Amino acid sequence: MSPNQHGGRRPGAGRPKGGRYGEPTRTIRVPESLLPALRQQLEHWPGPAATDGEVAPLARPAWPGQPLPLPLYTSRVAAGFPSPADDHLEEPLDLNRHLIHHPAATFLVRASGDSMLGAGIHPGDILVVDRALQAEPGRVVIAVVDGELTVKRLLRDGQGWVLQPENPDYAPILIREGQELQIWGVVAHVIHSLAE
């Protein structure tokens, strides 16, 4: 056995820089109890994102952590006067179960820009994006067009696909032969804060 067969630096050994994430990586210490959730997040990481001013450049997978049940009242909230008799509680509601139907295929992304105001998407809203849903015409999708990331309504015309904004100040993006279109997922829910 030659002493050069074990230990020391070898040409071509080690991990490639950036690897599947397309950027430098760093070793960190995490609690062992979080390893399964962290591995699941990294397994479904959508990768580095470009931006066209409509979607924030960092998309994060949805966290499939512990349930957080919150009280759900049986009465509906009207825009008129509340009824003090309607204060009955249903079973607790877990927002993770309500908003995330496919945890392994769902990620969150923050919107920017105002091209989707008509669809109820405002700057700073958090979009719950489900990659397991079929990107059918009429659905709001996260799309990459020629390397640019955007959120738009997916439509079809006689010549191909159209990414339609929901604001008359913006022109549709027409996808024609030779253009690259990749759908990252369907926007299933929008989390919009009124308190900020």
Q: What phi-psi label fits residue 114: left (phi over 0), alpha (psi between -120 and 50 degrees) or beta?
A: alpha
pLDDT in tens, 35-82: 776 676 666 555 544 334 445 434 445 555 566 666 666 556 556 555
pLDDT score, position 121: 96
CA-based torsion, 87, 90, 96, 102: positive or negative: negative
> Of 192 and 23, which is predicted with more confidence?
192
User: Which one of the listed residues 83, 112, 152, 193 is annotated catalytic?
Assistant: 152
Which range, of 60-64, 137-141, 160-164, 186-190, averages the lowest pLDDT? 60-64
At 183, is the secondary structure helix, strand, or coil?
strand
Could you confirm whether 152 is annotated as catalytic? Answer: yes
Report CA torsion sign: 179, 185, 191, 196.
negative
Catalytic residue (choose from 17, 112, 115, 193): 115
pTM of the model: 0.60
| Annotated catalytic residue 112 | no
